[in-house]
Amino acid sequence: MGHISDLDLASYALVQTLSVRFINDILLGMSSATEKLCGQAFGAGQHHMMGIYLQRSWIVDLITLTILLPVFIFETQVYMLLGEDKPIAQSGGYISLWFIPFVYNFVFSLTVQMFLQAQLKNMVIAWHQTTLD
């Protein structure tokens, strides 16, 4: 991003550090409930409940993310209220719209990661992370 212009780099950094991190932290906290419920079901031998908990967490996280979607849609106005320069706020608002599919990916990646951790399948997560890098 920095090789395009300083304005685009500043806008991208603003969206990444404020909006995406904000949504990621909320979804990560909600996904940790999935880990707790699945861990309890795994320990109690109720393996059939783990899939139900995973599907319920997808539904709850998708609804939560859809409710928080105006953070990305009205990003320009939010940045203007926070006191950002107008060109950076406008560019950040445009870039934030492109992050909407990216944050919807968090719903599935975070919950599946917690689901696998509850089953002590950490090597699957490690292999998945190495293929992403």
Q: Quick: pLDDT tens for 4-58.
A: 788 888 899 999 998 899 999 999 898 888 888 888 999 999 989 999 999 999 9
Give a yes or no: residue 1 inside a domain.
Answer: no
pLDDT at 1 over 70: no
Give a yes or no: residue 69 inside a domain.
Answer: yes
Give how far Cα 119 sits from Cα of 84, 102, 127, Å: 45, 26, 16
Q: Which pLDDT value is given to residue 87?
A: 92
Distance CA 20, CA 102 (A): 9
Give a yes or no: residue 105 inside a domain.
Answer: yes
- State pLDDT tens for residues 54-74: 999 999 999 999 999 998 999
8 Å CB contact between 2 and 9? yes
Give a yes or no: residue 77 inside a domain.
Answer: yes
- State pLDDT tens for residues 100-111: 999 999 898 889
Three-state helix/strand/coil letters over 7-21: HHHHHHHHHHHHHHH
8 Å CB contact between 37 and 54? no
**How many structural domains does the chain have?**
1
What is the domain extent for residue 21?
A: 6-132
Q: Which pLDDT value is given to residue 113?
A: 87
Residue type, 76: T
